Protein backbone atom coordinates (compact mmCIF):
# COMPACT_ATOMS: atom_id res chain seq x y z
CA UNK A 1 0.00 0.00 0.00
CA UNK A 2 1.52 3.34 -1.09
CA UNK A 3 1.93 6.18 1.38
CA UNK A 4 -0.44 9.09 0.58
CA UNK A 5 1.27 12.27 -0.62
CA UNK A 6 1.62 14.89 2.07
CA UNK A 7 2.13 18.48 0.96
CA UNK A 8 4.99 20.47 2.47
CA UNK A 9 3.45 23.82 1.62
CA UNK A 10 0.11 25.27 2.72
CA UNK A 11 -2.64 27.09 0.85
CA UNK A 12 -2.06 30.11 3.10
CA UNK A 13 1.57 30.32 2.00
CA UNK A 14 0.54 30.28 -1.65
CA UNK A 15 -2.15 32.88 -0.98
CA UNK A 16 0.44 35.20 0.60
CA UNK A 17 2.87 34.63 -2.28
CA UNK A 18 0.14 35.57 -4.79
CA UNK A 19 -0.81 38.67 -2.76
CA UNK A 20 2.78 39.94 -2.63
CA UNK A 21 2.96 39.69 -6.42
CA UNK A 22 -0.53 41.07 -7.09
CA UNK A 23 -0.11 44.09 -4.79
CA UNK A 24 3.49 44.81 -5.80
CA UNK A 25 5.34 44.16 -2.54
CA UNK A 26 5.27 42.96 1.05
CA UNK A 27 4.11 46.24 2.58
CA UNK A 28 1.19 46.63 0.18
CA UNK A 29 0.13 42.98 0.58
CA UNK A 30 0.37 43.22 4.37
CA UNK A 31 -1.99 46.18 4.32
CA UNK A 32 -4.51 44.35 2.10
CA UNK A 33 -4.37 41.10 4.10
CA UNK A 34 -4.37 42.89 7.45
CA UNK A 35 -1.20 41.08 8.47
CA UNK A 36 2.24 42.24 9.55
CA UNK A 37 4.91 42.64 6.90
CA UNK A 38 7.26 40.39 8.84
CA UNK A 39 4.72 37.53 8.86
CA UNK A 40 4.43 37.74 5.08
CA UNK A 41 8.22 37.78 4.70
CA UNK A 42 8.45 34.73 6.90
CA UNK A 43 5.71 32.85 5.00
CA UNK A 44 7.26 33.41 1.56
CA UNK A 45 10.76 32.67 2.84
CA UNK A 46 9.57 29.40 4.36
CA UNK A 47 7.76 28.48 1.15
CA UNK A 48 10.93 29.07 -0.89
CA UNK A 49 13.00 26.98 1.52
CA UNK A 50 10.48 24.13 1.40
CA UNK A 51 10.47 24.12 -2.41
CA UNK A 52 14.19 24.69 -2.80
CA UNK A 53 13.69 27.43 -5.40
CA UNK A 54 13.58 31.22 -5.31
CA UNK A 55 10.17 32.65 -6.19
CA UNK A 56 10.76 36.34 -5.54
CA UNK A 57 13.62 38.74 -5.44
CA UNK A 58 13.38 42.15 -3.77
CA UNK A 59 14.79 45.20 -5.50
CA UNK A 60 14.38 48.31 -3.40
CA UNK A 61 10.87 48.19 -1.95
CA UNK A 62 9.36 46.06 -4.72
CA UNK A 63 9.27 42.28 -5.04
CA UNK A 64 9.82 40.81 -8.50
CA UNK A 65 9.04 37.34 -9.78
CA UNK A 66 11.91 35.10 -10.82
CA UNK A 67 11.42 32.97 -13.97
CA UNK A 68 10.66 29.97 -11.74
CA UNK A 69 8.34 32.16 -9.70
CA UNK A 70 6.34 33.02 -12.83
CA UNK A 71 5.72 29.33 -13.50
CA UNK A 72 4.74 28.61 -9.89
CA UNK A 73 2.48 31.66 -9.73
CA UNK A 74 0.41 30.45 -12.69
CA UNK A 75 0.01 26.99 -11.18
CA UNK A 76 -0.74 28.30 -7.70
CA UNK A 77 -3.52 30.53 -9.05
CA UNK A 78 -5.10 27.48 -10.66
CA UNK A 79 -4.87 25.74 -7.27
CA UNK A 80 -6.56 28.68 -5.54
CA UNK A 81 -9.28 28.74 -8.19
CA UNK A 82 -9.90 25.01 -7.77
CA UNK A 83 -10.18 25.38 -4.00
CA UNK A 84 -12.62 28.27 -4.43
CA UNK A 85 -14.74 26.24 -6.86
CA UNK A 86 -14.64 23.26 -4.50
CA UNK A 87 -15.92 25.33 -1.61
CA UNK A 88 -18.59 26.96 -3.78
CA UNK A 89 -19.70 23.51 -4.91
CA UNK A 90 -19.97 22.37 -1.28
CA UNK A 91 -22.08 25.44 -0.47
CA UNK A 92 -24.27 24.77 -3.51
CA UNK A 93 -24.80 21.14 -2.53
CA UNK A 94 -25.77 22.26 0.96
CA UNK A 95 -28.43 24.46 -0.63
CA UNK A 96 -29.75 21.53 -2.70
CA UNK A 97 -28.01 22.49 -5.96
CA UNK A 98 -27.71 19.26 -7.95
CA UNK A 99 -24.23 17.95 -8.85
CA UNK A 100 -25.66 16.37 -12.03
CA UNK A 101 -28.64 16.87 -14.35
CA UNK A 102 -29.94 14.49 -17.00
CA UNK A 103 -31.96 15.55 -20.05
CA UNK A 104 -33.60 12.93 -22.27
CA UNK A 105 -34.13 14.65 -25.62
CA UNK A 106 -36.26 13.33 -28.49
CA UNK A 107 -34.03 13.51 -31.57
CA UNK A 108 -36.57 15.47 -33.64
CA UNK A 109 -36.14 18.42 -31.25
CA UNK A 110 -34.11 21.25 -32.85
CA UNK A 111 -30.74 21.42 -31.10
CA UNK A 112 -29.92 25.11 -31.62
CA UNK A 113 -32.09 26.37 -28.69
CA UNK A 114 -30.87 23.48 -26.51
CA UNK A 115 -27.26 24.51 -27.11
CA UNK A 116 -28.11 28.15 -26.39
CA UNK A 117 -29.72 27.09 -23.10
CA UNK A 118 -26.61 25.08 -22.19
CA UNK A 119 -24.40 28.07 -23.02
CA UNK A 120 -26.50 30.33 -20.78
CA UNK A 121 -26.50 27.72 -18.01
CA UNK A 122 -22.71 27.25 -17.94
CA UNK A 123 -21.72 30.48 -16.09
CA UNK A 124 -24.23 29.70 -13.32
CA UNK A 125 -23.81 25.90 -13.31
CA UNK A 126 -21.59 25.74 -10.19
CA UNK A 127 -19.91 22.64 -11.53
CA UNK A 128 -23.14 20.76 -12.28
CA UNK A 129 -22.61 18.08 -14.90
CA UNK A 130 -25.25 17.85 -17.64
CA UNK A 131 -25.94 14.64 -19.52
CA UNK A 132 -28.03 14.87 -22.72
CA UNK A 133 -29.44 11.51 -23.82
CA UNK A 134 -30.93 11.03 -27.30
CA UNK A 135 -34.29 9.27 -27.30
CA UNK A 136 -36.59 8.15 -30.10
CA UNK A 137 -40.39 7.75 -29.83
CA UNK A 138 -41.17 5.44 -26.86
CA UNK A 139 -37.73 6.02 -25.39
CA UNK A 140 -39.00 9.42 -24.20
CA UNK A 141 -42.06 7.75 -22.64
CA UNK A 142 -39.82 5.45 -20.62
CA UNK A 143 -37.63 8.35 -19.52
CA UNK A 144 -40.77 9.99 -18.13
CA UNK A 145 -42.14 6.94 -16.37
CA UNK A 146 -38.95 5.38 -14.97
CA UNK A 147 -38.29 8.43 -12.78
CA UNK A 148 -34.53 8.35 -13.35
CA UNK A 149 -34.29 11.39 -15.65
CA UNK A 150 -34.56 14.97 -14.42
CA UNK A 151 -35.93 16.56 -17.61
CA UNK A 152 -37.47 15.01 -20.72
CA UNK A 153 -38.20 16.49 -24.14
CA UNK A 154 -40.80 14.39 -25.91
CA UNK A 155 -42.65 14.56 -29.22
CA UNK A 156 -45.84 13.09 -27.78
CA UNK A 157 -47.20 13.49 -24.27
CA UNK A 158 -48.20 10.17 -22.68
CA UNK A 159 -51.74 10.01 -21.34
CA UNK A 160 -52.12 11.96 -18.12
CA UNK A 161 -48.73 13.70 -18.43
CA UNK A 162 -48.43 17.49 -18.61
CA UNK A 163 -45.67 19.36 -20.40
CA UNK A 164 -44.63 22.82 -21.59
CA UNK A 165 -44.58 23.31 -25.38
CA UNK A 166 -41.10 23.87 -26.76
CA UNK A 167 -40.94 23.67 -30.57
CA UNK A 168 -43.02 22.87 -33.63
CA UNK A 169 -41.28 20.28 -35.82
CA UNK A 170 -42.37 19.44 -39.36
CA UNK A 171 -41.47 15.96 -40.67
CA UNK A 172 -41.13 15.71 -44.44
CA UNK A 173 -40.46 12.77 -46.80
CA UNK A 174 -36.97 13.10 -48.28
CA UNK A 175 -35.06 11.42 -51.13
CA UNK A 176 -31.86 12.05 -53.02
CA UNK A 177 -32.15 13.86 -56.33
CA UNK A 178 -30.89 10.72 -58.11
CA UNK A 179 -33.44 8.38 -56.48
CA UNK A 180 -35.88 6.67 -58.90
CA UNK A 181 -38.86 8.29 -57.13
CA UNK A 182 -37.47 11.74 -57.98
CA UNK A 183 -37.58 10.88 -61.68
CA UNK A 184 -41.24 9.82 -61.67
CA UNK A 185 -44.13 12.18 -62.55
CA UNK A 186 -45.09 14.10 -59.43
CA UNK A 187 -46.95 13.69 -57.18
CA UNK A 188 -46.34 9.97 -56.62
CA UNK A 189 -48.81 7.65 -54.94
CA UNK A 190 -48.17 6.34 -51.46
CA UNK A 191 -48.37 2.79 -52.84
CA UNK A 192 -45.48 3.57 -55.18
CA UNK A 193 -43.45 5.03 -52.31
CA UNK A 194 -43.95 1.93 -50.19
CA UNK A 195 -42.28 -0.20 -52.85
CA UNK A 196 -38.96 1.36 -51.88
CA UNK A 197 -36.81 0.91 -48.81
CA UNK A 198 -37.48 3.29 -45.96
CA UNK A 199 -34.67 4.50 -43.74
CA UNK A 200 -35.77 4.81 -40.11
CA UNK A 201 -34.20 5.66 -36.78
CA UNK A 202 -34.39 2.96 -34.13
CA UNK A 203 -36.95 3.44 -31.36
CA UNK A 204 -34.90 3.64 -28.16
CA UNK A 205 -37.67 2.27 -25.97
CA UNK A 206 -37.40 -1.22 -24.50
CA UNK A 207 -40.86 -2.07 -25.83
CA UNK A 208 -41.27 -0.25 -29.18
CA UNK A 209 -44.82 0.27 -30.41
CA UNK A 210 -45.15 -0.38 -34.16
CA UNK A 211 -48.16 1.94 -34.48
CA UNK A 212 -46.18 4.93 -33.17
CA UNK A 213 -43.83 7.08 -35.19
CA UNK A 214 -43.49 7.81 -38.89
CA UNK A 215 -44.93 5.92 -41.84
CA UNK A 216 -43.13 2.57 -42.19
CA UNK A 217 -42.65 0.69 -45.42
CA UNK A 218 -42.52 -3.10 -45.38
CA UNK A 219 -38.87 -2.95 -46.40
CA UNK A 220 -36.83 -0.75 -44.10
CA UNK A 221 -33.31 -0.21 -42.88
CA UNK A 222 -32.86 0.91 -39.29
CA UNK A 223 -30.15 3.24 -37.97
CA UNK A 224 -29.24 4.78 -34.65
CA UNK A 225 -29.51 8.43 -35.71
CA UNK A 226 -30.19 10.98 -38.44
CA UNK A 227 -26.53 11.29 -39.41
CA UNK A 228 -26.42 7.69 -40.62
CA UNK A 229 -29.74 8.11 -42.41
CA UNK A 230 -28.42 11.18 -44.22
CA UNK A 231 -25.27 9.35 -45.30
CA UNK A 232 -27.35 6.61 -46.92
CA UNK A 233 -29.81 9.06 -48.47
CA UNK A 234 -26.91 10.90 -50.06
CA UNK A 235 -25.93 7.68 -51.80
CA UNK A 236 -29.29 7.73 -53.60
CA UNK A 237 -30.68 4.88 -51.47
CA UNK A 238 -34.09 4.81 -49.84
CA UNK A 239 -36.41 7.51 -48.52
CA UNK A 240 -36.91 8.86 -45.04
CA UNK A 241 -39.12 11.16 -43.01
CA UNK A 242 -36.83 13.83 -41.57
CA UNK A 243 -37.38 16.93 -39.46
CA UNK A 244 -37.39 19.88 -41.84
CA UNK A 245 -34.59 21.62 -39.90
CA UNK A 246 -32.38 18.52 -40.32
CA UNK A 247 -33.04 18.29 -44.08
CA UNK A 248 -32.86 22.04 -44.79
CA UNK A 249 -29.07 22.30 -45.45
CA UNK A 250 -29.34 19.45 -47.96
CA UNK A 251 -32.34 21.06 -49.65
CA UNK A 252 -30.29 24.24 -49.98
CA UNK A 253 -27.35 22.50 -51.68
CA UNK A 254 -29.88 20.62 -53.88
CA UNK A 255 -28.58 17.15 -52.97
CA UNK A 256 -31.83 16.08 -51.28
CA UNK A 257 -35.38 16.97 -52.26
CA UNK A 258 -38.74 16.73 -50.57
CA UNK A 259 -40.80 13.88 -51.99
CA UNK A 260 -44.15 15.02 -53.38
CA UNK A 261 -46.72 12.42 -52.32
CA UNK A 262 -50.37 12.48 -53.36
CA UNK A 263 -52.55 13.78 -50.56
CA UNK A 264 -49.60 15.31 -48.77
CA UNK A 265 -47.23 13.57 -46.40
CA UNK A 266 -45.68 16.18 -44.15
CA UNK A 267 -46.64 16.15 -40.50
CA UNK A 268 -46.12 18.81 -37.82
CA UNK A 269 -45.54 17.78 -34.23
CA UNK A 270 -44.98 19.77 -31.08
CA UNK A 271 -42.24 18.91 -28.65
CA UNK A 272 -42.79 19.31 -24.91
CA UNK A 273 -40.66 19.69 -21.83
CA UNK A 274 -41.72 17.29 -19.10
CA UNK A 275 -40.45 17.26 -15.51
CA UNK A 276 -41.13 13.69 -14.35
CA UNK A 277 -40.58 14.45 -10.64
CA UNK A 278 -41.21 18.20 -10.15
CA UNK A 279 -41.19 17.89 -6.37
CA UNK A 280 -37.64 16.49 -6.51
CA UNK A 281 -36.19 18.91 -9.05
CA UNK A 282 -33.60 21.13 -7.38
CA UNK A 283 -32.56 24.71 -8.15
CA UNK A 284 -30.14 23.74 -10.94
CA UNK A 285 -32.83 21.76 -12.75
CA UNK A 286 -35.41 24.50 -12.27
CA UNK A 287 -33.02 27.11 -13.64
CA UNK A 288 -32.03 24.98 -16.62
CA UNK A 289 -35.67 24.17 -17.44
CA UNK A 290 -36.46 27.92 -17.50
CA UNK A 291 -33.58 28.47 -19.91
CA UNK A 292 -34.85 25.67 -22.17
CA UNK A 293 -38.32 27.23 -22.28
CA UNK A 294 -36.91 30.70 -22.85
CA UNK A 295 -34.63 29.78 -25.76
CA UNK A 296 -37.16 27.47 -27.44
CA UNK A 297 -39.80 30.19 -27.24
CA UNK A 298 -37.36 32.69 -28.78
CA UNK A 299 -36.64 30.27 -31.63
CA UNK A 300 -40.31 29.76 -32.53
pLDDT at 250: 96
100-300 in CATH: which number?
3.40.190.290
Predicted confidence pLDDT, tens digits, the chain (300 residues): 567 778 888 989 999 999 999 988 898 989 999 999 999 899 999 999 999 999 988 887 788 899 999 999 999 998 888 887 677 666 655 667 899 999 999 999 999 999 999 999 999 998 899 999 999 999 999 999 988 899 999 999 998 999 999 999 999 999 999 999 999 998 999 889 989 999 999 999 888 776 565 556 778 899 999 999 999 999 999 999 999 999 999 999 999 999 999 988 889 999 999 999 998 899 999 999 999 999 999 998
CATH 1.10.10.10 in the chain: give the residue spans: 11-94
Instruction: For residue 160, report the phi and psi dihedrals to the nearest 5 degrees.
Output: 85, 0
CATH for 11-94 (3.40.50.10470, 1.10.10.10, 1.20.120.160, 2.40.160.40): 1.10.10.10
Ramachandran quadrant class, 189 (left: phi over 0; alpha: psi -120 to 50; beta: rest): beta
Q: Determine the pLDDT at residue 95.
A: 62
Q: What Rg do the C-alpha atoms of the chain give, in angstroms?
A: 30
pLDDT at 173: 94
Predicted local distance difference test score (pLDDT) of residue 212:
61
Domain with CATH 3.40.190.290 in the chain: 100-300
Q: State residue 229's pLDDT score.
A: 97
Amino acid sequence: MSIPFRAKSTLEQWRIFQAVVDYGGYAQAASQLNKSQSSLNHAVSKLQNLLGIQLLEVKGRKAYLTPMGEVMLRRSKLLSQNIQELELLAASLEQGWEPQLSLACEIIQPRAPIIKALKAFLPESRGTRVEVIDTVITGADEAITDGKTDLVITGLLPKGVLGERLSAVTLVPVIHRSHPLAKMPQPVSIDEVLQHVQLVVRDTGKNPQPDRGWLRAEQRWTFSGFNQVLEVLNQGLGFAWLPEHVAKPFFEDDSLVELNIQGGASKTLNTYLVIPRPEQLGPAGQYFSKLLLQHCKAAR
